[in-house]
Amino acid sequence: MGTLHEECGVFGIFSPERAPLANLSYFALAALQHRGQESAGIAVNDDGVITTARDVGLVSEVFSQNRLKDLGEGTIAVGHVRYSTTGSDSRRNAQPLRINHYKGQLALAHNGNLTNAQLLRRELESTGSIFHSTTDTEVIAYIIVQERLRSRCIEDAVSAAMDRLEGAYSLVLSSPSKLIAVRDPHGFRPLCMGALPGGATVFASENCALDAIGAEFKRDILPGEIVTVSRAGTVSNTSHCGLFPKTLCAFEFIYFARPDSVIDGCSVQAARQRAGRILAQTHPVDADVVIGVPDSGLDAAIGYACESGIPYGIGFVKNKYIGRTFIAPEQELRERAVSIKLNPVRKTIEGKRVVLVDDSIVRGTTSRRIVSLLRKAGAREIHMRSAAPPFVSACCYGTDIDSPQTLIANRHSIKEIADLIGVDSLGYLPVESVKALPEHECGLCSACFDRNYPTAISGDLAKSRFEFKIHAAAEEP
């Protein structure tokens, strides 16, 4: 699929005793690396003094052993991996954000996208707020600090801030003495809670991060829930729960999450295999082998093979040492990026009628290059199947599709798309099947496929809406 990205992954830990929490945060963030590969950061709270380290790059690139050691020990830590959906990928936009205010310091990590960020930022700037980043995360932090002025405690301030925030946000934040986890009332992005032997409480975007540090999964955070952990214990505030129908992003199951994760009680791997089975039922074809595009297309390909009876084969070998940070200096090398990452297995493909299963088709560029690789490897026929419906609308809740004009399905028919990417046939997952992917009803948002947005949309939603050149801005009076 190749060109669609999710914003980030978050992690938080509260320990009853001082400990080198940066090390645990490092391993948890490494397990969440698939959710964001532009930047990484960790903030460690030692008795109200928060030390942060954040930079552009993968977790392993940002944090050396010495840098982890420099973060010291503490009782609270917050971590983040990022892919930008609001603001550029510069270091200033790396998280967690650290804010100094009259009640002490605050560290915040955010997964999602506010739909009213532009309105809130204008409101804040009109009263004197000065922004240092171009992310909506800083808007959230300022709203919380503003509400703290009139609240008796930080959790009340967070609750009041939720009355003003709209859109998608799963948060972990550290106040001087508390760790707080928040999930927006729609539940767009996942967030779960676990426990470590010895009494530490942890939160993460996916349970695979809990597994990575040996934590026991306890439960998912409810949509609208605020969970506060301190030395006094764990307190849940559900005053914002049940305000709206739950609309977890459907693409968590199709692409974003790791296959070994379980989100809101539903297996990601099982959902992807179910997508493949539905594709085999709705778009059957005579073929010799079914192959998947690594990594998120593999389970759907297995599901297609099981349902259709066509043998499953390993069609590509993925170079795991070339990540999304690979930047080719010249156009010719950029064109070869797909072949550097993926190499077809000729023995599986040559002379065969191939069913090619991928998680989705967004702009079509990557699909066309993958199909070209298969043709060069001797495929006789290529029948492509997408484990997602056609993308026809912009996403407002945390993926980098801010313009429908870039979406191939928004401009071309299925037959035209098949011709453009060079396949003999093309089939998409039916949009009405999306809600059937999880093993039980869990409430999904499928607005990018059907234009049914679950929230009001206000203001400019472009990724660069807080970044502009002088000629594009209003002139100063």
Which residues carry out catalysis?
Answer: 8
Asked if residues 345 and 373 have their Cβ atoms less than 8 Å apart, the reply is no
Compute how many other C-beta atoms are within 10 angstroms of the C-beta atom of residue 222: 19
Asked if residues 42 and 54 have their Cβ atoms less than 8 Å apart, the reply is yes
DSSP one-letter string for 376-434: HTT-SEEEEEESSPPP-S---SSBS---GGG-GGGTS-HHHHHHHHT-SEEEE--GGGG
DSSP one-letter string for 191-226: -EEEE-TTS-EEEESSHHHHHHTTPEEEEEPPTT-E
Strands 289-292 and 353-358: parallel
What is the rounded distance in angstroms from the CA atom of residue 73 to the CA atom of residue 71?
A: 7
Compute how many other C-beta atoms are within 10 angstroms of the C-beta atom of residue 447: 21
Record the tokens describing residue 368, joined without a space: 């066309």
What is the rounded distance in angstroms from the CA atom of residue 403 to the CA atom of residue 410?
A: 10
What is the rounded distance in angstroms from the CA atom of residue 61 to the CA atom of residue 81?
A: 12
What is the rounded distance in angstroms from the CA atom of residue 376 to the CA atom of residue 293?
A: 16
Compute how many other C-beta atoms are within 10 angstroms of the C-beta atom of residue 312: 21
Q: Which of 85, 80, 82 is nearest to 115 (CA)?
A: 85
What is the DSSP-derived secondary structure letter of residue 470? Answer: G
Q: Which of 286, 110, 82 is nearest to 184 (CA)?
A: 110
Burial class (CB in 10 A: 0-12, 13-18, 19+), 72: middle
| CA 151 to chain centroid | 32
Strands 353-358 and 381-386: parallel
